[in-house]
Structure 1
């Protein structure tokens, strides 16, 4: 019989990797669109910034310190995807390639990941609260930790897949990095725009 910690860690992993709830996956895809596999350290820092953001609001929302209407959270999540993809295309237009990568300042990218992580954390919290059973409040912190670890493992799995695909696309199929960026960003932006229209909260 598996432990409570393992159960919530698996729930976190399954939630981020759930193809039926693909909005979080699309955000990770958009985050990775401008990177080569050789830049995996930069992507790791980016995902860590996102994790810090969503861990904070997941904890605050799960502890009922903050509560944001679910309709707004569900609308803002695809907004973060669309804005990330749009930011990628602005880099495409303004950047100059230098030694195989874009010439760009990445601090803004990290800030976006942190801020957008705050929004995604509220989305995670809705799912997390629905998984809580009555009388489990005493072990809430342990459950939050396990759930966050599961989410992080799921995110890193998605990042690894995207970077491997980027390697195949750019190094084996010789797709220019700018074209790859536009393709992946567009692939994320299209569904995000549809979700924004479907989830308009007014």
Structure 2
């Protein structure tokens, strides 16, 4: 197996691993305001998240940026909570206009925080490798594909709930976002940061 394939698979399985559900929750929270017809907007959001976490993943893995891991483990659920809460309280007409830009900003900025969370995992895998460009690229592409898989599953589920079961889009958004906010709050309280 090539180095690229190895790190691509590590990135893919890392994001799809149910034990890393905090990242899955964040991606779903970002996409909770969208339906299947919004797939282009969703791809942009997922890519913005990838760009954000790629930057800090590289900086942290190269030891250029060092932040207390306990703080990062606390901030990750904070990002999830803020995103979910914003989904709950924004009006649909605002979601249709400004909401897209706000979600892009959330994805990019909060992606920076999530990247630092990925870095400890990746740094432990890389060991003392001199050149890590290929590994970082492969890992990030694997993460991106994994996020697209998560989003695709969520958008299909949303389509079924909203279009077939006939649950109001607003109600679906609020239920999903409320559940995610509750889990994120629990994660915040459980961190060792306190």
TM-score normalized by structure 1? Answer: 0.92
The equivalent position to 2:188 in structure 1, one of 182, 196, 199, is 196
Say which SS state the counterpart of residue 45 (structure 2) adopts: helix
Aligned mates of 1:13, 1:163 — CA distance in 2: 19
Aligned residues: 193
Deviations 1:106-144 (A, max 9, x none): 21211111000000000011110111133x223x11111
* Unpaired runs of at least 5, structure 2: none
Say which SS state the counterpart of residue 64 (structure 2) adopts: coil
The equivalent position to 1:144 in structure 2, one of 136, 146, 158, is 136
Partner of 1:66: 65
Report the alpha carbon displacement of residue 182 of structure 1 after superposing the two structures with TM. 0.7
Partner of 2:119: 125
Aligned mates of 1:69, 1:41 — CA distance in 2: 36
Instruction: Tell whether 2:92 aligns with 1:95.
Output: yes
TM-score normalized by structure 2? Answer: 0.96
Deviations 1:40-97 (A, max 9, x none): 0011111111111000000011111101110001000000000000010111xx3349
Task: Give the helix-richer structure, 1 or 2.
Answer: 2
Partner of 1:12: 11
Say which SS state the counterpart of residue 163 (structure 2) adopts: helix
Aligned mates of 1:96, 1:89 — CA distance in 2: 13
Partner of 1:111: 105
